[in-house]
Structure 1
Amino acid sequence: MRRGFKAEAKRLALELRAELGLNAHGPFDPYAFADEYGIRVIRLSELSGPARDHLLQREGSALSGALIPIATGVAILENDAQPLARRRTTMSHELAHVVLAHEFGVSLAADERKCGLGGAQEEEADWLSGELLIPYEGALRLARADAADEDAAKLFQVSLAVARWRMNHSGARTVVRRTRTKWSGARR
């Protein structure tokens, strides 16, 4: 990931959320975002054929999502058989690739969270999608309140795994812990 990207992603995510009328303390709706920007979402269940049946699985190596170039734009193919929290994460990841203007042919997102673009583009899309789903400021507020990962997942409508990742890797809990340590030492 390029130097300074995490700070850039914090700012960008807040700007994108603001365009939808959202602050940092509530759930992000990737479907509203896609609609706002004219990005078509195609659900696997809307397609037909034997390949669809293979891809439209809930578990295993089933396709989660794909970013597909169409003329001068893109569409997102999503596996709507998966749980909504998973689909929201996949959508946010694919939208991050679009927002960041990543170069691609076809970006496939499987459950292993590898969509084929690899390297820095993957890391950037992961980080921006995380900031869209649970912004640093939202994670910081929850960390100050000693909220559990389950609380973060429920509030931001994400999976427990995504909530845990954002609460720990955003740095919010570390900042709160260090601040509390500093102030408890200063009182002595």
Structure 2
Amino acid sequence: MKTKKTTILPRGYSTVAENLAENFRKELSIHPCGHLCGFKLANHLGVSVCTASDYGFDPNVLVGLTGWSGLYLVNSFGEKIIIYNSGEPFGRQQSTIMHELAHVIRGHTFRSDAILAELPFLRSYDPLHESEAGYLGASLQITRKGLVWAIKKNMSVEQMAEYYNATTEMVSYRLRISGVARQFGIRV
């Protein structure tokens, strides 16, 4: 997982993110510790999810050239759309979709003049929005309660990744950032 310069999140944001992740599970009749599929949440939120190849882009070229994973946009009809890179492993795809859904949930907007019509993958970057989406997206994928449950079930990082359709990097990140690793004395 790439290390990015982090923007300080607003006070209490981690609680907001965890509550949102649990509330969406409740709305979808999923246990607070259960697996939430990004496609299912997108459908629930009325967001279309498409692959980059649906738009004629070769996913292998996107990964090789730019490391691009996905984006959220609103088309001229007001439809919310997530475009993701299907060339990445499924766990990474789920993380990307959750991250982009977090932008939708938080109501993040971007300047339409910052998007190139022929290459919509390039646009303005708001560090606070990206930090919020990163934290919320990760919480949507794996709740803190889910991590505690998995630890109590003696699940390894690999088993948690498989259960939550996540990468091992995402599980390790969530264990660290949520404080669960420290709480249970786990080194990740």
Query: Does the pair score TM above 0.5?
Result: yes
Bin the TM-score by the shorter chain: 0.7 to 0.9
State the TM-score, normalizing by the size of structure 2: 0.80
Secondary structure of the residue that 2:10 maps to in structure 1?
A: coil
Distance in 1 of aligned mates of 2:66 and 2:126: 17
Counterpart in the other structure of 2:15: 7
**SS where residue 21 of structure 1 aligns?**
coil
State the distance in 2 between where 1:56 and 1:79 align.
Answer: 10
Change (3 A) 1:131 1:80: same
Structure 1 position 132 matched with structure 2 position 137? no
- Structure 1: which amino acid aligns with 2:22? L
Contact between 1:76 and 1:94, CA under 8 Å: does it hold in 2?
yes
Cα deviation, residue 102, structure 1:
1.2
Q: Percent identity?
A: 24
Q: Secondary structure at the match of 1:86?
A: helix
Runs of 4+ in structure 1 deviating by more than 6 angstroms, as ranges, are none
C-alpha distance in 1 between matches for 2:59 and 2:78: 29
CA distance in structure 2 between the aligned counterparts of 1:116 and 1:140, rounded to whole angstroms: 37
SS of alignment partner, residue 63 of structure 1: coil
CA pair 13-116 structure 1, distance change in 2 beyond 3 A:
farther
| TM value normalised by structure 1 | 0.80
Asked if the contact 1:34–1:40 (Cα under 8 Å) also holds between the matched residues in 2, the reply is yes
The answer to whether the Cα contact below 8 Å between 1:45 and 1:56 also exists between their aligned partners in 2 is no
Q: 1:117 to 1:57 in 2, by over 3 A?
A: closer
1:19 aligned residue (11, 27, 30): 27
RMSD of aligned residue pairs (Cα, Å) = 2.5
Q: CA offset at residue 123 of structure 1?
A: 1.2
Residues 105 and 88 from structure 1, CA distance in 2 versus in 1: closer, same or farther, beyond 3 angstroms? farther
Give the CA deviation at 1:58: 4.2
Instruction: Find the residue that maps to 1:66 and give its secondary structure.
Output: strand
1:77 and 2:73 matched: no
Number of aligned positions between the proteins: 170
Which of 121, 126, 131 in structure 2 is aligned with 1:123?
Answer: 131
2:124 and 2:151 map into 1 onto residues whose CA distance is 34
Which one has the largest radius of gyration? 1
Q: Distance in 1 between matches of 2:59 and 2:18?
A: 37
Task: Evaluate the alpha carbon distance shift between residue 53 and residue 36 of structure 1 in structure 2; reply closer, same or farther with a 3 A threshold.
Answer: same
With over 3 angstroms needed to count, the CA separation of the structure-2 counterparts of 1:69 and 1:157, relative to structure 1, is: same
